[in-house]
Amino acid sequence: MTRIYLLRHGEVLDAAPRRFIGHLDVPLSPHGERQCVAQARALDAVPLDAVFSSDLVRAHRSAEIIAAPHRLEPRRLADLREMSMGRWEGLTAAEIAAREPAAFDDWMKRIGEFPFPDGESVPDLVARAWPALERIVAAHPGGSVAVVAHGGTNRALLCRALGLPLGRILAFGQDYGALSVLTARAGAWVLGRLNERPVL
């Protein structure tokens, strides 16, 4: 039985208004750092064997905070990055809808399959992130591992683990700094906790 403590990175700088960040390398805000410290306290008693993160700074810094009480060094995996959002990165939904209304409408209607222009689709994301999670599980059989990634990445992993259509990707809340727990047991995945926000 391997347990994955799946976390979204903390809040980023200039989080409002909400933007499509994707591969942009933005840092945590002071509030985001506090969110991660709170989750580190909540996981202090968990015997973590390893901590992995996306290689983007917002996820890796979050992982450093989570790993510190366990005296672990988080390992960066580029395959855990957020979905590439192509030419929409850095824009708000309102800005995209104004610039490319037809493309944005298609994306909203077929969110599980329509790729970001010049970027990735959800199947593209699953094709790189899911094997990364499988490698983590294979390397830590019966262990407890923290994985710190992104809203889109975590949602895609949850869909894949639970056998849900990728079109349901937005059914899973993934707030800044929130924790979900997946357990691999007898060839199946069990969701134990979902989107638990840090208690500040």
Active site residue 9: yes
Q: Which residues contact 77 (CB under 8 A, 6 or more apart)?
A: 52, 53, 54, 55, 132
E strand or H helix that includes residue 30: helix 30-42
Count of beta carbons in the 10 Å neighbourhood of residue 67: 22
Query: At 4, which amino acid appears?
Result: I
- The packing angle between helices 151-162 and 122-139, to 10°, is 70
Exposed/middle/buried for residue 181 (C-beta within 10 Å: 0-12, 13-18, 19+): middle
Active site residue 82: yes
Count of beta carbons in the 10 Å neighbourhood of residue 92: 14
Task: Kindly name the residue from 11, 70, 82, 120 that is annotated as catalytic.
Answer: 82
Task: Kindly name the residue from 9, 60, 70, 150 that is annotated as catalytic.
Answer: 9
Q: Supply the residues annotated as catalytic.
A: 9, 82
